[in-house]
Structure 1
Amino acid sequence: MSNKPNAREAIVDCASKLFFTQGYHATGLNQIIKESESPKGSLYYYFPHGKEELALTCIHRTSDIVTEKLKDLADTSPGIGEAMREFLLGMAEEAVSSSYERVVPFSFWLAVETSCVSEELRQACQTVFSDWQEVVKQHLMEEGVGETEAADKASVAVSLFEGALLQTLTFRDEQPLLAAAKLIPALLS
């Protein structure tokens, strides 16, 4: 085991980056060990069940980060439409500042690629989308939207975010995220 107090975080950070940029299947544990500069024993100490357990950790961490960001914005914005607009504008800014390399749509590797690897990964991905949609849905309901309509709008909002991010990265152009940011308040009104 590594003497570094942050070996686990280094492994998760590195694995997330590699899973997002290369995909689940193209990322090997040896590459994660090498690029995280962690001893092999650290990886197996923290993730005794290997790559799938590590992927689950990355999925949960990504979900937590985005969910907290959405909640924070929703709690400090005049409405969920404005919160989602700010979220999308932030993603556009991050995409440009990272030369389109640090932001990857969740669905790109997690939901699409890993959901066919195992039922546990598929369920984890389902939970991620459900959690994000729940934040939007709950705020819409607080704004007076009925539950069914709020659930529909939340599903479309998350789909819009994921699709705009995927296009932004494919075209290496922030315009799809900016367009989504411009239109999402009307969608959620």
Structure 2
Amino acid sequence: MDTKDLLIETSTTLFRLKGYKGVGLNEILKACDITKGGLYHHFPNGKEELLIACLQSMNETITNDIVQIFKRNPSALSASQEMIEKLIRQFDQEGTIAGYTFSSIVSEMASLSESVRTACYSLFARMQEIYSNKLAEDGILGEAAASIALMMNASIEGAIMLCIARKSSEPLRTVLQELPKLLKMP
């Protein structure tokens, strides 16, 4: 793995665990065993530029996983159920849902930096686009598909945060149970 990829991978993990503000530059440098010069070589604008690279990497990883799940399922409902069941299994096994949420970064940084807010929004928008496209395949079109996709995204992201806060997968289980009602909307 090259230095840039190491910085992104390591920093992504640290940001998810401790938040952007909770991770110092020296901690990143130590974890990657590199110098400040090495970091600034790849990210001349420093920690915020590194965060944006981490968000872009998460965007790619998360959306690729969602796309694969939605491709192999015949409906938005079955795809969403598979995705939520995967999240529940991960939470029950690991006590957290690493790699599928970045809401804590959004709430911590989006009001401070337009470039970070834009990077975060990009992932939410891509997820909603995937959901909306599958809903369109199911015959739910236009604004209805867009509204339902937004509700799905908000419900799943919110449930992930509640799972972490409650130390229980119950919020995701509730979304899984209620999702069929949402997807029967005209």
Give the corresponding residue for 1:138: 133
SS in 1 for 2:4: helix
Q: Determine if the alignment matches structure 1 residue 54 to structure 2 residue 50.
A: yes
Give the corresponding residue for 2:73: 77
Write the distance in 1 (CA, Å) between the matches of 2:59 and 2:82: 18
2:142 aligned to which of 147, 171, 176: 147
RMSD: 1.6
Q: Determine if the alignment matches structure 1 residue 44 to structure 2 residue 40.
A: yes
1:115 aligned to which of 110, 115, 118: 110
Query: TM-score normalized by structure 1?
Result: 0.90
Quote how far apart the aligned CAs of 1:104 are: 6.4
1:182 aligned to which of 171, 177, 180: 177
Write the distance in 1 (CA, Å) between the matches of 2:156 and 2:46: 31
Q: Determine if the alignment matches structure 1 residue 20 to structure 2 residue 16.
A: yes
Write the distance in 2 (CA, Å) between the matches of 1:138 and 1:160: 18
- Structure 1 unaligned segments of length 5 or more: list them: none
How many pairs align?
184
Q: Determine if the alignment matches structure 1 residue 65 to structure 2 residue 52.
A: no
Once the two structures are superposed, residues 62-116 of structure 1 have per-residue CA deviations (whole angstroms, 9 ceiling, x without a partner) of 111111111111110121111111111111211222232735632122x211112
Give the corresponding residue for 2:165: 170
1:99 aligned to which of 79, 83, 95: 95
SS in 1 for 2:110: helix
* Displaced runs of 4 or more, over 4 A: none
Write the distance in 2 (CA, Å) between the matches of 1:71 and 1:104: 13
Percent of matched pairs sharing the same residue:
27
- Structure 2 unaligned segments of length 5 or more: list them: none
Asked if the contact 2:76/2:131 (under 8 Å) is kept, the reply is: yes
SS in 2 for 1:144: coil
Write the distance in 2 (CA, Å) between the matches of 1:138 and 1:81: 12
Quote how far apart the aligned CAs of 1:6 are: 2.7
Quote how far apart the aligned CAs of 1:119 are: 0.9
Query: TM-score normalized by structure 2?
Result: 0.91
Asked if the contact 2:62/2:99 (under 8 Å) is kept, the reply is: no
Write the distance in 1 (CA, Å) between the matches of 2:60 and 2:32: 22
Letter in 1 for 2:55: I
SS in 1 for 2:125: helix
